[in-house]
Amino acid sequence: MSDDKDDKRPDEPHFGGDIKPIAITDEMKKSYLDYAMSVIVSRALPDVRDGLKPVHRRILFSMHENKNLPDRPYTKCARIVGDTMGKYHPHGNLAVYDALVRMAQDFSLRLPLIDGQGNFGSMDGDSPAADRYTEARLDKAAMPLLEDLDLDTVEFQPNYDGKEREPKVLPARYPNLLVNGAGGIAVGMATNIPPHNLGEVIDACVALIDNPEITIDELIEIVPGPDFPTGASIMGRSGIHAAYHTGRGSVVMRSKTHIEELRKEREAIIVTEVPYQVNKASMVEKIADMVREKRIEGISDLRDESSREGVRVVIEIKRDALADVVLNQLYRFTQLQTSFGCNFVALTGGRPEVLNLKDFIVAFVEFREEVVSKRTRFLLNKARERAHVLCGLATAVANIDEVIRLIRTAPTPAAAHASLMDRDWPAEDIAPLIALVDDPRHPINADGTYRLSDAQAKAILELRLARLTALGRDEIGDELQKLATEIADYLDILRSRVRIQDIIKAELAEVRAAFATPRRTVIQDWGSDLDDEDLIAREDMVVTVSHAGYIKRVPLSTYRAQKRGGKGRSGMATRDEDFVARLFVANTHTPVLFFSSLGQVYKEKVWRLPLAAPNAKGKALVNMLPLDKNERITTIMPLPEDEASWETLDVMFATASGGVRRNKLSDFVNVNRAGKIAMKLDEGDHIVDVQICTENDDVLLTTSAGQCIRFEVTEVRVFKGRDSTGVRGINLGKGDEVISLAILKHLDATPEERATYLKDAAAQRRALTGEGEEVAEAAADGEETGGEVELGSKRVEMQLAEQFILTLSEKGYGKRTSSFEYRVTGRGGKGIVAMVVNDRNGKLIASFPVDERDQIMLVTDGGQVIRVPVDAGPGNRIRIAGRSTQGVTVFNTDASEKVVSVERIADEGDSEEGEAETGPAPEDSGEA
């Protein structure tokens, strides 16, 4: 028979000794889990019972052991760190010192546990002095956490080297985890618990003891929210309710501010409290950066005047700025407003759990019941031990002669000890005392005798002769009586949970009376979905977008009115390859939809757009909206401010390929930050414009080649979805594309009525103005009329419905034409002539309704902007003419420039005083 070595196959590995083959995946899994649990339990997460991590618990226990008490002198922190690290916490001294420092900072803990002397850092982020320079001792607030530690109230465990013993948890008399909060990152989990008001938390504990069925909502009425040591304000209650109900939620914190008048017409925002855990110095620096970057406008000076009396940051406002508007910008862009992410994770029974508010309080109350029970049991045993000894002494006093004889005749103390224990002593005198102390360790024999225990015999041998006097005998009896009362009380406590809970409430009341302070953090009702738009001043803005995708807003008052034919002023600083492509006027509170080349839609408010000077480039849209690499914004649509009214309105889409689609405006109320699909587009197509319409309106589409078509809105059905391509609006010729969408008022009128009205209106204008105009003809493009008719009352109706369509070409020529010259046809046709297109005019770039009191703004691809009134009086008006005309000069462009964008301004503007730049009004020429 061969040995094992010879039997082993050649391909099998052979390991000698204790080496065993182990799969590396199994070993790594086991080791990682062991490491993770070690970090979770032994380092990163607090215990729900005393609210402390091991490092904090060890620091407090070490200071308690070394008598660094509130009524003792301060001790060097280096000594405290060394003792803690050497006995209980085998980690770096920096980890221990950082934990000690935090427990001494009144801006970190709502109820500091350590009384520090020296530099312990600041809320500006200043580091504390080295531990050799600072001193500390336990704060009075830490003593309730350590009380009864020597009464067997908590379990102890060996320290890391087995030479010392440390408590697994402190017998905390108040729920420290809620009062001071906690933060920590473990492996795969983290905790972030905000501090709370001590008085409110204790009241909640008492309420739960009185009513175990209390709900979380009822507890929230007692504990309305966190109470941060730095004060500030909590905005809204939804985040608090989420955290208290589910264990997770976000609390919005806002600095406390007020506005002071520093001197005449100069105001300043004064910050007196900052959000919890915000570095004040970094906050001030961030504000300064925002001002330099012009993301926040209206600040003239900024300084930190904080002192020992408290926080005071002064933000001076420019003379022409509104403090409320600036304050709102500060809240939005800086840490004057921030959030605290609540994550209520703590160790319960050695395991991490996500807890709600009631779970925290229930766990603490149950722990306190356990502590009080253990303490009472310890005191009961101590009282019984003392009573047991006193019963032995009473036996010796009652039988003093016999006791003395046994001791005198005994050869040694040990023999005397044995003689006392071996003898049966009469229990007649001692029986009432034994019954009084209710001690089961005093069995009485059937013959009425009993024997002394080892402890009793030892106490008799150590009895002083002075105790044998009458006074000494009375002292023993009185002490037994007192112990009997205490023992009866302890037994009653252990038999009654109500008594235990009454003790807990009494001790909580003592802590509340000693350490509770008024709430510092104010909770304000506030909707998390609000933008505080009431703080934004209502002001008309000119929003400009360049071809390369740069956007900005400029106050409308910046641009001065000029007569037609002027040279304009610079509207945006552009590079040679860039030009202004879009311009519109809207209020700061106006919601704006951004339609992209890929058919997506995005939503923003005007006041969120970057504010810039007229000649500034603005901010790239790709930095504001989540655009893809090949996606660009092609259409921008300002909408009614009241989104509730969107349900009654429709929107009409028009694409360059001639397609149209009608949707409910309410389809675009909810547009998230990532945008949503607006319209499905064919390859190479793009959205030209989107406008609001009703079923009483007509649609006018105009093409670059000078064609147009007018049809009723109802010709296009309302589409339910947003991912369709729509239907055909106009049949385009080769190389042509739609350049403009206009919504016109619908009026049923015959060709004869329109022809009569147009002829009469032209004659009336000639008589009033003296300007020569040809009588426009309605019978065009194949439309036949039967001559003039009597209008009668129809004339008033037509006057109210008449609109004038301004049509402009890329070379700056334009005209106004009555809407009655655009006859209504069916959708999908080739259309009629809108304006003559030739080398003089160039292609058309816009066509939309205007009022004679309106002004228009024209922008060239060179960045030139002009603001022109539609009708500024004789010799300076954009002429009313027929459809098939060439128009007049509106913008005297350079030969190398083309008009790329036109916008109607629906109010009358005055020239800026002292800056009115006007050019000669060119002659009306070139009409057909």
pLDDT: which is higher, 576 or 425: 425
Neighbouring residues of 770: CB distance < 8 A, sequence distance ≥ 6: 874
Q: Count Cβ neighbours within 10 Å for each residue of 603-627 and write b for 16 or more, e otherwise.
A: bbbbbebbbbebebbbbebbebbeb
133 carries an active-site annotation: yes
- Of these ranges, 356-365, 399-408, 446-455, 670-679, the one predicted with the greatest mean pLDDT is 356-365
CA distances from 611 to 238, 369, 860, 878 (A): 33, 62, 21, 32
Relative orientation angle of helices 751-769 and 794-801, to the nearest 10 degrees: 70
Q: Give the pLDDT confidence score for residue 784 in this predicted structure.
A: 57
**Mean per-residue pLDDT, 387-405:** 84
Taken in order 893, 700, 683, 597, the sign of the CA dihedral is positive
Report which of residues 266 and 150 the model is more confident about.
150
Q: Which two tokens stand for residue 293?
A: 């970057």
Q: What is the pLDDT of residue 577?
A: 46
User: What is the structure's pLDDT at 454?
Assistant: 87
pLDDT, tens digit (0-9, with 9 covering 90-100), for 752-799: 888 888 888 888 877 776 654 444 444 444 455 556 778 877 888 888
> Which phi and psi angles does 648 have, rounded to 5°?
-90, 0
Q: Work out the pLDDT band at 561, boundaries 50, 70, 90.
A: low
Look at residue 231 and tell me whether its pLDDT is greater than 60: yes
The pair phi, psi for residue 801, each rounded to 5°, is -90, -10
Give per-residue pLDDT as tens, 450-490.
888 888 888 888 887 766 666 566 787 788 888 888 988 99
Is pLDDT above 80 for 13? no
Q: Is 661 in a helix, a strand, or coil? A: strand
Using a 10 angstrom Cβ sphere, with 0-12 exposed, 13-18 middle and 19 or more buried, the burial of residue 407 is middle
Does the structure show a pLDDT above 90 at 699?
yes
Asked if residues 778 and 755 have their Cβ atoms less than 8 Å apart, the reply is yes
Confidence of residue 869 (pLDDT cuts 50, 70, 90): confident
Encode 92-120 in three state secondary structure.
CHHHHHHHHHHHHCCCCCCCCCEEEECCC
Alpha-carbon torsion, ordered 674, 680, 681, 682, to 10 deg: 130
Q: Residue 268 in contact with residue 312, Cβ under 8 Å?
A: no
Measure the CA–CA gap between 231 and 521, rounded to whole angstroms: 4
Mean of pLDDT over the chain: 83
- What pLDDT is recorded for position 900? 83
DSSP one-letter string for 875-923: TSBPPB--TTS--EESS---TT--EEEEEEE-S--PPPTT---------
Cα separation, 347 vs 696, in Å, equals 67
pLDDT at 207: 96
| More reliable by pLDDT, 242 or 878 | 242
Looking only at the bridges linking them, the beta strands covering 633-638 and 591-596 are antiparallel
Share of the chain above pLDDT 70, in %: 85
Alpha-carbon distance of 869 to 909, in angstroms, equals: 8
**Backbone torsions φ then ψ of 668, nearest 5 degrees:** -120, 20
**Residue 6 scores a pLDDT above 60:** no
| pLDDT at residue 316 in the model | 93
Tokens coding 664: 């409910």
pLDDT tens figures, 810-834 = 888 999 999 888 989 999 999 999 8
Whole-angstrom Cα distance, residue 45 to residue 40? 6
Say how many residues make up the chain: 928
Average pLDDT score over residue span 442-448:
71
Span of 168-172, 173-177, 250-254, 532-536 with lowest mean pLDDT: 532-536
**β-strands 256-263, 266-273 pairing:** antiparallel
Identify the residue with better confidence: 474 or 346.
Answer: 346
Contacts of residue 373, Cβ cutoff 8 Å, sequence gap at least 6 = 494, 500
Beta carbons within 8 Å of 106's beta carbon, 6+ residues apart: 112, 229
Buried b (16+ CB within 10 A) or exposed e, 672-700: eeebeebbebeeebbbbbbbbbeeebbbb
CA gap 568, 83 in Å, rounded:
80
Beta-carbon-side half-sphere exposure of residue 512 (alpha carbons within 13 Å): 15
Q: Among residues 70, 351, 49, which one has the least CA distance to residue 170?
A: 49
- Report the distance separating Cα 307 and Cα 250, nearest Å: 31
Query: What pLDDT sits at residue 54?
Result: 92
Structure tokens at 72: 């003792």
Using 50, 70 and 90 to split pLDDT, how confident is the model at 71? Answer: very high
Q: What is the CA radius of gyration of the chain?
A: 45
How sure is the predictor about 214, in pLDDT bands with cuts at 50, 70 and 90?
Answer: very high
DSSP helix/strand/coil, 758: helix
Task: Provide the 8-state DSSP code for 70.
Answer: T
- Give 565's pLDDT tier (boundaries 50, 70, 90): low
Residue 412 tokens read as 């040694």
Half-sphere exposure of 134 (CA within 13 A, CB side): 23
DSSP class of residue 40 equals: I
Question: With bands split at pLDDT 50, 70 and 90, how would you rate the model's confidence at 910?
Answer: very low
Mention every residue, 6+ apart, whose C-beta is less than 8 A from residue 299. 287, 291, 315, 316, 317, 318, 321, 326
Helix 357-398 with 497-515: angle, nearest 10 deg: 110
pLDDT at 702 over 60: yes
Q: Which of 162, 167, 196, 165 is nearest to 179 (CA)?
A: 196
Interval 130-158 mean pLDDT: 95
Question: Alpha-carbon torsion 733, 737, 738, 739, what sign?
Answer: negative
Res. 645 pLDDT band, cuts 50 70 90: confident
Are 222 and 200 spatial neighbours (Cβ–Cβ below 8 Å)? Answer: yes
End-to-end CA distance of the chain: 123
| 840 Cβ contact list (under 8 Å, min separation 6) | 811, 813, 886, 926
**Mean pLDDT within 497-521:** 95
Max Cα distance, the chain (Å): 157
pLDDT of residue 509: 96
Q: What is the mean pLDDT of residues 494-520?
A: 95
- Which helix (H) or strand (E) element contains residue 800? helix 794-801
Instruction: Give the sign of the dihedral formed by CA 205, CA 207, CA 211, CA 216.
Output: negative
Please write the tens of the pLDDT for every residue from 726-761. 899 999 988 899 999 999 988 888 888 888 888 888
Token reading at 131: 């531990």
Question: What is the pLDDT at residue 917?
Answer: 36
| All structural domains of the chain | 45-171 (3.90.199.10), 256-335 (3.30.1360.40), 538-690+700-745+803-905 (2.120.10.90)
Please give the residue that has the higher pLDDT: either 464 or 232.
232
The region of weakest confidence among 182-196, 303-317, 612-626, 910-924 is 910-924
**Proportion of the chain above pLDDT 90, given as a percent:** 39
- Give one DSSP letter per residue of 441-490, joined into a string: T-PPPTTSEE---HHHHHHHHT--GGGGSHHHHHHHHHHHHHHHHHHHHH
The active-site residue, picked from 133, 490, 559, 602, is: 133
Contacts of 303 (CB under 8 A, 6+ apart): 313, 314
CB 725 within 8 A of CB 661: yes
Please give the pLDDT value at position 568: 55
**Is the pLDDT confidence value at 876 over 60?**
yes
* Mean pLDDT confidence for 704-724: 88
